[in-house]
Each structure stands twice: as structure tokens, then as C-alpha cells.
Structure 1
Amino acid sequence: MDGGVGLSVGAVARRLGVAPSTLRTWGRRYGIGPSRHSAGGHRRYDTTDVARLQLMNQLILDGTPPEEAARKALAAAPEDLPAQPPPQQPEPRPAWGSGGQRLAVTESTPATRALARAAMGMDAVTMQRLIDEALRRDGVVQAWQELFAPVLIGIGERHAETGAIVEIEHLLSGTLLSALAREVATAGPPITARPVVLACAAEEQHSLPVYALAASLAAERIAVRVLGARMPYEALAAAIRHLGPAAVFVWSQTPDTGDPAPLAGLPGGRPRVRLLAGGPGWADDRLPERVHRVGTLPEAIAEVHAAYGHA
């Protein structure tokens, strides 16, 4: 594999479609990591390592809690591991847009192209229609992963390159947030007594992923309480003491808001509260031991199920 030196964490992350920080967390927390080293001493994943991670990732996507998924992947015999796909080659990213504005979207499908065109044209009516259709057709999780997130990432990357299209990002994010909040508000009555509390870290303003998780859980009739952006930790602690939640999810988008130290001071609760940290802002190597790191929407949902004791 790759000249006999194995794959880096970044290369494996691209193959599996997860964040490199997620792979590092899996290795640290569950012992499922690279088994080889390069000549320079860097850790590398061999074919079997990648296959075990591929199996773990698929189990998580199917609803298995990460700890159980890792245990099954590590215990699997080599002949029972999934076959390795050929190395992925980078493909040109088609650009979509209107009025002279173009947007590159990695996951090019008719749906992402349509939403990208509407976003770049600031066509709020069409954006709303496409978002509502995707939610009805695919559900929150699939719509988020296959449509909303790819277009948002494309807009974010374009902004990082040019410093432009902030207005487009704000319009699309606001339209999405309204749609996801409506999904939460119109969901059926919850079947869980203890809710899940969802909030952004103090001073974190990017709340859209919080609403995506809330809408996903509400669709399963899990009680949620969305506290939104820029939640002071003192207020979050008060909410935990008042509500006695089964789980608490805290989102950090940037390192400026991802100081993990305040998480250690949040109440543990009786019965115990499962504390989840999501988003790329957290310093993974400094998260308190009791915090469960989640890297994807399906992984966050699986951790919530684990908080309720669901297999």
C-alpha cells in the first residue's frame, strides 16, 4: 500500500469520508488506529487497519454506538473485513452558479448543483423549495450529508480563497436554520422523558450543525432542548441541573471557541449525563476523559442512542 509505507491519517480520512480528528479520537479512545511507522517515525495505516476502520465506520452509520463498533471491528477476523476499494483519485470539482459567480462542490449531483445555483443567485424562494423537498424526500440525516453540507463546504472554501460571498453563506445558512428549526417544532411528541440539550460553545456563533442534530433527533421523537449560539458555560450548567438531560451536545466550529477546559466543570448529573463534543474547533488531545468526541452527524446520533441505553 502506497509504496509499502502505509497511509497517513489524512489519506485514510479521505477514503472513509470522516475528519482526521475523528480517526485520531477513535485511535486514542477505542484503540483502533495505525499499526505501522514510516521511516521518519510517523504512524501509518496498513491495509488491515483501513479495513477495520471501514467496518467501524459502516457500523456507526448503521446506528451502532462507536465503542461497540470499534470492539466488533477489532475482533473481526481478517477474512471477515470489507474488501478495500481502489485508492481514490482526486476528481475535478465542477463549478456551479449563476450571474458570473461560480461555486465548486465536491459532491456533484443534480441536487447539489441546483442548490448551489440557487445559493449563488441568492434565490431564496428556490433555496427554500429545494431544502423542503430534500427534507421530505430524504430525511434530515441524508439531506444534511448529501446536499446541505457539501454546498455549505463549497461556499466556505470559496470564502476562504477569496474573502467574498459572505452574504451568500448567511442567506443559505439562515434559510437552512429556519427549515431545521421547523422540523424540530413540528415533530411528533417525544417518547423520551429525559431530553438532549444542544448548544454552541461560549462565543461560538455557528449553530447550524446544532439544529441539524436537533432535527435528526426530533424526527426520532427524542426530546430536545436547543439553546443555540454563544451559550455561556454557567448558563449551560444551570440548564443541565434544571433539565436532568440524558445527553448534552456542545458544538465548536473554530479553535478560538474550542477550549475544552470548561467542559470539565459541567454537571455530571444523577442519573449520569453523556457529554458530547462536536465540531472541528476542539483540541482533541485536551478533552476531559468523560467527554465523548463525535465527528459526524450519524456518530452523534449513535452516541445519543447510547445515552438512552439503546444498542
Structure 2
Amino acid sequence: MERPGGREAGLGVGAVAQRLGVAASTLRTWDRRYGIGPSGRSPGGHRRYTPSDLARLAVMQRQILAGVPPGEAARVALDEPPGEPAPRAHGAGGRRVPLAGTAAPPRAAAVRGLARAAMALDQPAMAGTVRDALRRDGVAAAWDGLIVPVLAGIGRKHRATGECVEVEHLLSTVLLGCLAELTTPSGAADGRPVLLACAPEEQHSLPVYALAAALAEAGVPTRILGARVPPTALAAAIRRAGPGGVFIWSQTAETGEPTWLDGLPPSRPPYRLVVGGPGWARGRLPASAALVGTIPEAVAELISLPSHS
């Protein structure tokens, strides 16, 4: 919609969604939850986004892509003085993945390559890049240096646009397959196993599989219980397996309440309890639980068990 002087009188939600590379449903959510919505009106009385509205949306989008929570990003955008309209083809749209803090070459090239392959849903290219990194760098280094940056970038893109669910799902499937190739038992492993589980209701299980592959590199036997493991099931596994270590992952604050850890059964000889992930309420963890922040830290804790060292 154009005025005689060539200035935009306003854009509807569909046009703004296409211009910014953001789903229309995401724009409506931002309007409803945070008040980042259209302030103009068409001659027919329909709500329209003005140039100032577009500028605020661009600020909010940049903030989210930088890792700022949407609510805080909205506050920053609303505090911005009115500016120029947002440019077309913003980085959140199209096939670009925002890769904040990408590693130095040559690893940066692999990160960009994996991100491009993921956005193209190119499964063979994804698998080839991941296998090369696992073979060249080892599991822990490949996880931190290649896989985590791409997963984090896709997550930022999803929060900013509401899209890329299919990208994350396919990449996760590829990663699980590549990691499983390294954890397939080749024979009977000596020593007490390490039980690997996610906290109750925690569905982000990829770090558990990455840790299993990293421990396999070190010759440590594991048993992977996977996502959403109830405390009663974990307790039963401890009694059955007699593990040397128990590792529990929590990705989100909703799954990080740790009071149930005190109810895990003891065993003889005792096992080491290790928890990892950003979800845990750190101030309420029991003294018996060692908290780790990365996969390499978890490996260091778990390979130092007496039965494995």
C-alpha cells in the first residue's frame, strides 16, 4: 500500500512476515504477548504495520537471534526510538543460520557447512560432515566445536521465526545415527557400567547419546536409558545394573528440580552421581551430586571412576 509520496501507509501481517522471514503466527504471538504489533490503520480500518513498527520488529528479531529471551527482546525493542523500516531479507529468514561465536578456521568452515546442509535437509551431507568431525576430533571436541554451535543457531532461528522444526528433527536423527555407530558394543566390556538418563519429563536426550559415544571412546561401558526417565525406573536400573556412575541430564528449568535425587538408592560399592545441563537448580543439588557443564567435563568425571581408571 503506497501513499502519493511513495511512503508506505502500512503493511499487513502477511507482507511483514515475508519481508522479515518470520512466520505470521509468530508476529501475532509477539503482538498478543508483548505488544509488538501494528500501530497503523488502513482506510478500511484494518491494522497495519508502520515503518516504525517494522524497525521495532527488526530490533526484537536481532535481540532474539543474539540469544535474548523474547520478553526481554520486546522490552528492548519498545524502548528503541522510532527508526527506519527494517531491511528486506533479514538474516533470520531464508536459509541462513545465526552462528554466534563460530570457532576459528578450519572448524568454522565445518560449522557453516553443517548449518547449510541442515537448512537444505541434505541428510548425506550432514552425516558426512558429522562423521568426519567425530573421526578427526573425537566425540567431545566435535560435540562442543561443531554440533553445539549449529544446534544453538537453529534454536535461535526457531525462536525468532517460529520455523525450522523439521530442520532440527532431521539433524537430530542424523546425529543420533552417527553417535550410535560409535556406541554399538563390539564385545563384552569390563567394569561396572555408567547409567545415562534424562531427568523426568526431559526430552532433550542428544547430550546423553553424545556422552555415551565419548565414554565408548575411553572404553567405559554404558547403559543409555534415554529421555524422560521416571525416578522409580532409574532406581530400578541402579539396583539391577550395579553401576559405577549415574549421569542425569536436564536441559530446561522445568525439568531441573533436584529434590528427587536424594531418593536414589545406594549401592555397594557406591556409584558416582553426576548431573549435567543448564536446567538444574544448582543451589538445591544434593552434596552427593557432581555438577558438570560440558560433555568433556562429564567424561573427565566418569572415566576417573576406580573401576575404569
**Shorter-normalised TM range:** 0.5 to 0.7
RMSD: 2.0
Query: 1:305 Cα shift?
Result: 2.4
Q: Give runs of aligned pairs for residues 177-256 of structure 1, distance below 5 A.
A: 177-185=176-184, 189-190=188-189, 192-256=190-254
Query: 1:309 Cα shift?
Result: 6.8
Query: 1:141 Cα shift?
Result: 1.2
Amino acid at match of 2:96: R
Aligned residue pairs total 215
Query: 1:178 Cα shift?
Result: 1.4
Query: In 2, Cα distance between the equivalents of 1:281 and 1:142?
Result: 22
Query: In 2, Cα distance between the equivalents of 1:211 and 1:294?
Result: 16
Amino acid at match of 1:228: G
Q: 1:177 and 1:210, CA in 2 relative to 1: closer, same or farther beyond 3 A? A: same
**1:102 alignment partner, one of 87, 93, 96:** 96
Q: 1:171 and 1:96, CA in 2 relative to 1: closer, same or farther beyond 3 A? A: farther
TM-score (norm 1): 0.65
Query: In 2, Cα distance between the equivalents of 1:158 and 1:189?
Result: 43
In the alignment, is the contact (CA less than 8 A) between 1:187 and 1:221 conserved in 2? Answer: no
Query: In 2, Cα distance between the equivalents of 1:107 and 1:220?
Result: 28
Query: In 2, Cα distance between the equivalents of 1:269 and 1:186?
Result: 25
In the alignment, is the contact (CA less than 8 A) between 1:277 and 1:292 conserved in 2? Answer: yes
Matching residue of 1:142: 141
Query: In 2, Cα distance between the equivalents of 1:280 and 1:204?
Result: 12
* 2:298 counterpart of 1:300: yes
Query: 1:215 Cα shift?
Result: 0.2
In the alignment, is the contact (CA less than 8 A) between 1:96 and 1:117 conserved in 2? Answer: no
Amino acid at match of 2:156: E
Unaligned runs of 5+ in 1: 1-94
Amino acid at match of 2:266: G
In the alignment, is the contact (CA less than 8 A) between 1:96 and 1:116 conserved in 2? Answer: no
Query: In 1, Cα distance between the equivalents of 2:199 and 2:230?
Result: 7
Larger Rg over CA atoms: 2
Query: 1:276 Cα shift?
Result: 0.7
In the alignment, is the contact (CA less than 8 A) between 1:181 and 1:215 conserved in 2? Answer: yes
1:16-38: CA deviation from partner (whole Å, max 9, x where unpaired): xxxxxxxxxxxxxxxxxxxxxxx
In the alignment, is the contact (CA less than 8 A) between 1:211 and 1:226 conserved in 2? Answer: yes
Query: 1:189 Cα shift?
Result: 4.7
Q: 1:249 and 1:132, CA in 2 relative to 1: closer, same or farther beyond 3 A? A: same
Matching residue of 1:288: 286
In the alignment, is the contact (CA less than 8 A) between 1:259 and 1:283 conserved in 2? Answer: yes
1:199-236: CA deviation from partner (whole Å, max 9, x where unpaired): 01111111000001000001111110001011111010
TM-score (norm 2): 0.66
Query: In 2, Cα distance between the equivalents of 1:96 and 1:122?
Result: 19
Q: 1:189 and 1:137, CA in 2 relative to 1: closer, same or farther beyond 3 A? A: farther
1:27-71: CA deviation from partner (whole Å, max 9, x where unpaired): xxxxxxxxxxxxxxxxxxxxxxxxxxxxxxxxxxxxxxxxxxxxx
Amino acid at match of 2:194: V
Query: In 2, Cα distance between the equivalents of 1:188 and 1:199?
Result: 23
In the alignment, is the contact (CA less than 8 A) between 2:220 and 2:303 conserved in 1? Answer: no
Amino acid at match of 1:101: R
Query: In 2, Cα distance between the equivalents of 1:201 and 1:260?
Result: 9
Matching residue of 1:9: none
Unaligned runs of 5+ in 2: 1-89
Q: 1:100 and 1:143, CA in 2 relative to 1: closer, same or farther beyond 3 A? A: same
1:113-150: CA deviation from partner (whole Å, max 9, x where unpaired): 11010011111111011111111122111111111111
Query: In 2, Cα distance between the equivalents of 1:188 and 1:120?
Result: 38
In the alignment, is the contact (CA less than 8 A) between 1:248 and 1:276 conserved in 2? Answer: yes
Compare relative contact order (CA 8 Å, sep 6+) and give the higher one, 1 or 2.
1
1:262-307: CA deviation from partner (whole Å, max 9, x where unpaired): 1111112111111111111110000111111011111111111233
Query: In 2, Cα distance between the equivalents of 1:157 and 1:287?
Result: 29
Amino acid at match of 1:117: R
